[in-house]
A and B are shown apart, each in its own frame.
Chain A
Amino acid sequence: MTNASAMLTALGDPSRQAILDRLSTGPLSVGQLADELPISRPAVSQHLKVLKDVGLISDRQEGTRRIYQVDPEALAQLRRHLDGFWERSLAAFARRAARTEEHDRSNDDDSDH
């Protein structure tokens, strides 16, 4: 729960959204991201750290460069969190609606007497 919320907040920043968006097409280094986005290299590094801390991306060393990539499992987890939330909520709504129907029926029965 907290993890999913942290991911949502990390994505609340337009620059981080742009970085994640760019990484969703394939792994890239800090330098490549800075070249392609209107964000300075130090800022890209900061955003990458936030995204990594919440688990949305992972990194690996490749020679002298550090390569960043989207963690598909993290995105799937975030989606499952919301999916489960709405499933429980709609089920509760359906139970509430069912009670209304019974209530209305019993009112009808009463008025028949």
Chain B
Amino acid sequence: MTQTIDTVSREVTVDVDPDTAFRIFTADMTSWWPADHHIGSAPIEQIVVEPEEGGRWYTRHTDGSETSTGFVTVWDPPARFVVTWQIGADWKFDPDLVTSVEVQFHPVDGGRTRVVLEHRDLDAYGADAEAMRKTFEDPGAWSATLAAFANGTAR
């Protein structure tokens, strides 16, 4: 398959160690995520990345509703994690749209951390959605979570 949209790659170096950087990035995402970037009908109350493979990445809103962004596919703290990004038109969760975001935390001199983010599979949604579903059919938790999730949040 030809690559029609290149991977988006961004990095930033921060003055904290990888453990701290990983914790802020994942467990405390609410504290830094741009507040206007959400898909709910009410402001963000909390953004949750469940700390395990198959865990959900979702946002709880101030009106009690929840919106989902994707799922954790790799969880390897404090080195890296990979989540799916399944946001489609009008910022709705779309179970058939599967792109992936990998974030790596590289230790650098002086107790600092180079954070490298890659948003991939930007042009292979359909094919990857099927492949990724197959990958995750084995661990029952993923299928169950995905199904429950799709039922609960799909348009």
Question: Which A residues are closer than 8 A to B by beta carbons?
Answer: 2, 5-6, 8-9, 11-18, 20-21, 24-25, 70, 75, 78-79, 82-83, 85-98, 100-101
Query: Do A97 and B11 touch across chains, with their CB atoms under 8 A apart?
Result: no
Cα A79 to Cα B123 with chains together (Å): 10
CB atoms of B91 and A14 under 8 A apart? no
**Beta-carbon contact of B24 and A82 below 8 Å:** no
- Within 105-120 of B, Cβ neighbours of A (below 8 Å) are at 115, 117, 119
Residue of B1, B12, B88, B129 touching A94 (CB-CB under 8 A): B12
Chain B interface, number of residues (Cβ within 8 angstroms):
43
Chain B residues whose C-beta falls within 8 Å of the C-beta of A70 in the assembled complex: 4
Option from B8, B15, B97 in Cβ contact (under 8 Å) with A8: B97
Q: Does B32 lie within 8 Å of A96, measured CB to CB?
A: yes
| Residues of chain B contacted by A88 (CB below 8 angstroms) | 34
Chain A contacts for B25, CB-based, 8 A: 93
